[in-house]
């Protein structure tokens, strides 16, 4: 089976020749948009489906999880707002990934979009070598961008598989 790229005007692969910051920001946006596209075109049941019997992963849960990840690295770690509450449930509770049965898609999608916007705003005030502290270590904005790209890429792989199992849709 041939797998095609996801084609959407909102998602553009970054140019090969960009400065460091532009490259990192473009790849992060590429992966944010990829997750969104994997969720589009499904009804609520499809987004909440957990087609892998040994896993709690769902597309809806991945969006909730990434809202938490955005908040953790950009707001808590880089911006220093260590008291920022969890977006969904108690911090570390797993409510982001697993507790989607009663979750509302429009609300949760909006929360993720808000966290992405807050992350962009935090990053806009910094240079790549600026740092923040969290989880007992100091990290730079540069490191955070690379980590976020890795985090989205990993979970977008999960989203690829989940979407294919839910409705047969393939593409990356």
- Which pLDDT tens digit goes with each residue over 46-95? 999 999 999 999 999 999 999 999 999 999 999 999 999 999 876 666 66
Sign of CA dihedral 91, 92, 97, 99: negative
CA dihedral 150, 137, 75, 33 (to 10 degrees): 0
Domain at 121, CATH number: 1.20.120.450
Query: Does residue 6 fall inside a structural domain?
Result: no
Please tell me the distance from the alpha carbon of residue 152 to that of residue 169, in angstroms, as a whole number: 19
Query: Does residue 14 fall inside a structural domain?
Result: no
Domain of 152 in residue numbering reads as: 36-167
Query: Does residue 133 fall inside a structural domain?
Result: yes
pLDDT: which is higher, 110 or 82: 110
Q: How confident is the model at residue 104 (pLDDT cuts 50, 70, 90)?
A: very high
Q: How confident is the model at residue 98 (pLDDT cuts 50, 70, 90)?
A: confident
Of the candidate ranges 3-7, 13-17, 54-58, 78-82, the one whose mean pLDDT is the lowest: 3-7
pLDDT: which is higher, 12 or 36: 36
| pLDDT confidence of residue 77 | 97
Query: Does residue 75 fall inside a structural domain?
Result: yes
Place of tokens 């005030």: 125
User: How far from 154 is each of 18, 109, 115, 147, CA to CA, in Å?
Assistant: 23, 19, 19, 11
| Count of CB atoms situated within 10 Å of the CB of 149 | 20
Query: Does residue 22 fall inside a structural domain?
Result: no
How many domains would you assign to the chain? 1
Q: In this structure, are residues 74 and 123 in contact, taking their beta carbons and an 8 Å threshold?
A: yes
Query: Does residue 19 fall inside a structural domain?
Result: no
The pLDDT tens digits for 117-163 are 999 999 999 999 999 998 889 999 999 999 999 999 999 999 999 99
Query: Does residue 58 fall inside a structural domain?
Result: yes
| pLDDT confidence of residue 1 | 52
Query: Does residue 100 fall inside a structural domain?
Result: yes
């Amino acid at each position: 089976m041939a797998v095609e790229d996801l084609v959407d005007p909102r998602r553009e692969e970054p140019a090969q020749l960009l400065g460091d910051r532009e490259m990192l920001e473009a790849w992060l946006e590429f992966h944010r948009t990829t997750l969104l596209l994997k969720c589009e075109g499904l009804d609520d049941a499809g987004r909440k489906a957990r087609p892998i019997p040994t896993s709690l992963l769902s597309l809806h849960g991945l969006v909730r999880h990434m809202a938490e990840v955005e908040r953790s690295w950009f707001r808590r770690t880089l911006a220093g707002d260590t008291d920022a509450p969890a977006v969904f449930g108690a911090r570390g509770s797993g409510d982001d990934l697993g507790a989607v049965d009663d979750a509302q898609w429009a609300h949760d999608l909006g929360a993720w979009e808000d966290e992405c916007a807050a992350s962009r705003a935090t990053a806009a005030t910094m240079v790549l070598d600026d740092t923040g502290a969290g989880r007992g270590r100091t990290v730079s904005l540069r490191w955070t961008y690379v980590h976020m790209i890795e985090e989205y890429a990993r979970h977008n792989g999960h989203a690829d598989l989940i979407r294919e199992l839910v409705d047969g849709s393939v593409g990356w």
